[in-house]
Chains A and B, each alone.
Chain A
């Protein structure tokens, strides 16, 4: 096990595209670090630089105490699970699992023992002699995982390993991964574009956008104290509401004209008209089983901005009625209109 350190890492692709702009990230030994961000923000690029599959055009990367910036992947002692799994199609599951050990010159007995252990842990024993093409999606995913585990590497890298699974399997495997991390105590860098996955898995979460790190923090901190408007919007579902600062001018910490008010749908309460901070017209009501998602339009005529509210299922709301909304004073977020920064 080892820590991973990125110091001012930059990557400019040969076509001039800048995919990483000065990444500074310290991943502690045994930490589960999740890189999250929208598609194309440079998460995979960052991960591939840690793996050695791309060479940074600036900065340093350290694994443990060793500067590996220009060390080829095979000498880094890392394991990676690819989004497409990249199982070797011409080898059986057993050979796939053994490949990394074989490349490192492990003895036959050791290979057998470790492959056996991993297969048992991942319930792959019955399919050991099949080729990847004869496996289900979930099994393939487990083989990819197994190929990483048998090696007992310093660092595990995951690039969206769950995105090819169906919703149910994804949730199950997510729990499996969390368990695995606890059992192995391994250092993991995990890339995803799914904020929910990031929040549930990460010891810490690093949010990226356009090659820049936006915020690195434990999940709950990210949720409670987003560093800027982008993080606030990206984290949490349904997404945070943003309103012009003037609407609740009396609560604004700064000049309300230059501030944006952010409030999560869960931090709003629907009350009878006139009893809340503002009145609004009910637009659409979506029952979601355990709760209602209510779309409102501010103003009694409903010509103001849209507001999403999560309400208890027993709340009496109907489309086209006027209701009141109450804002949770403790949970308001203010952002600078220009810079998007939290104020």
Chain B
């Protein structure tokens, strides 16, 4: 039963990979579960005709920048939230969570206006900035959870030993929170890599489109180039799948920590 479920969950992907190597003409011609003839046509077309490396580059830049910024700034915010006592801390945490749950569609129009007035439509900053609206709450929320798990006595000991708070953070907390920081970075990257609505709304043409947008807009006027779409799907899925498989345990921990701990 469980095996069946695993097979079921793996099948769509298997089917897509298989199809991406199948000649276009045979895609809908009597499917068989095992490959009969494998070709690289779709991948070749993807990178030569479609310039698919452009959306890949865009996605890497946007998701990478978002992740780096979020983890660096988010770590400091989260540390403050996890350790310092101040008025309204609980309310602030709740607010951060609420912002993270905000329906994206509701902020598309104000963000659009804002970006247009800043001249940032169809630019990298014009994507990174909106991404921060969902990535930052996610990072902070996750990291607060990770920092809380570290005993406060460690940095107290460091401060008694003569370190300033910032130095204690750098020398003691960051090294110990490294697994948590890595998990957070991976999750933020995956969410940013997969984001669609903002990328669709705030880009105008292929030169700044991210991978999901590019794939969704492949559809031709009269016919759907399924072979290329599936090849692109495989390419788009590859980095996140590798990340997930490599850091499986951490991701599970991060996903559940973000939601279950409060």
A and B touch in the complex (CB under 8 A): yes
- Given contact pairs A14-B85, A80-B157, A88-B172, A74 touches B162 in the complex (Cβ within 8 A): yes
Docked-complex contact A53 and B159, CB < 8 angstroms = yes
Asked whether A78 is an interface residue with its Cβ less than 8 Å from the other chain, the reply is: yes
Docked-complex contact B172 and A103, CB < 8 angstroms = no
A80 and B159 CA atoms in complex are apart in Å by 10
Q: Which of A8-56 contact B (CB under 8 A)?
A: 14, 51-53
Docked-complex contact A103 and B175, CB < 8 angstroms = no
Q: Which of A62-84 contact B (CB under 8 A)?
A: 72-74, 76, 78-80, 82, 84
Asked whether B163 is an interface residue with its Cβ less than 8 Å from the other chain, the reply is: yes
A78 and B171 CA atoms in complex are apart in Å by 20
User: What's the tally of chain A residues with a CB closer than 8 Å to chain B?
Assistant: 24
**Segment with Cβ contacts to A, from B59-67, B128-136, B148-156, B213-221:** B148-156
A73 and B153 CA atoms in complex are apart in Å by 13
Docked-complex contact A86 and B162, CB < 8 angstroms = no
Chain A residues with Cβ below 8 Å from B160 are: 51-53, 73-74, 76, 78-80, 157
B164 to chain A, nearest CB (A): 6
Cross-chain contact of A86 among B157, B164, B171 (Cβ < 8 A): B157
Docked-complex contact A74 and B151, CB < 8 angstroms = no
Q: Mark A139-175, 1 if CB is under 8 A from B, else 0.
A: 0000000010001000001000000000000000000
How many CB-defined contacts (below 8 Å) exist between A and B? Answer: 62
Which chain B residue shows the least CB distance to A157? Answer: B160
Asked whether A89 is an interface residue with its Cβ less than 8 Å from the other chain, the reply is: yes
Docked-complex contact A53 and B156, CB < 8 angstroms = yes
B229 to chain A, nearest CB (A): 47
Q: Which of A228-249 contact B (CB under 8 A)?
A: none
Chain B residues with Cβ below 8 Å from A90 are: 175-176
Which chain B residue shows the least CB distance to A159? Answer: B153
Which chain B residue shows the least CB distance to A150? Answer: B161
A181 to chain B, nearest CB (A): 19
Which chain B residue shows the least CB distance to A88? Answer: B172
Of the listed residues A74, A104, A147, the one surrounded by the most CB atoms of chain B closer than 10 A to its CB is A74
Asked whether A100 is an interface residue with its Cβ less than 8 Å from the other chain, the reply is: yes
Docked-complex contact B172 and A104, CB < 8 angstroms = no
- Given contact pairs A14-B85, A88-B154, A89-B176, A72 touches B159 in the complex (Cβ within 8 A): yes
Q: Give me the interface of B with A, judged by CB distance under 8 Å.
A: 85, 151, 153-154, 156-165, 167, 171-172, 175-176
Pairs A–B under 8 Å by Cβ, sample size 13: A52-B160, A72-B159, A72-B164, A72-B165, A73-B160, A74-B160, A74-B161, A74-B163, A74-B164, A86-B156, A89-B176, A103-B162, A103-B167
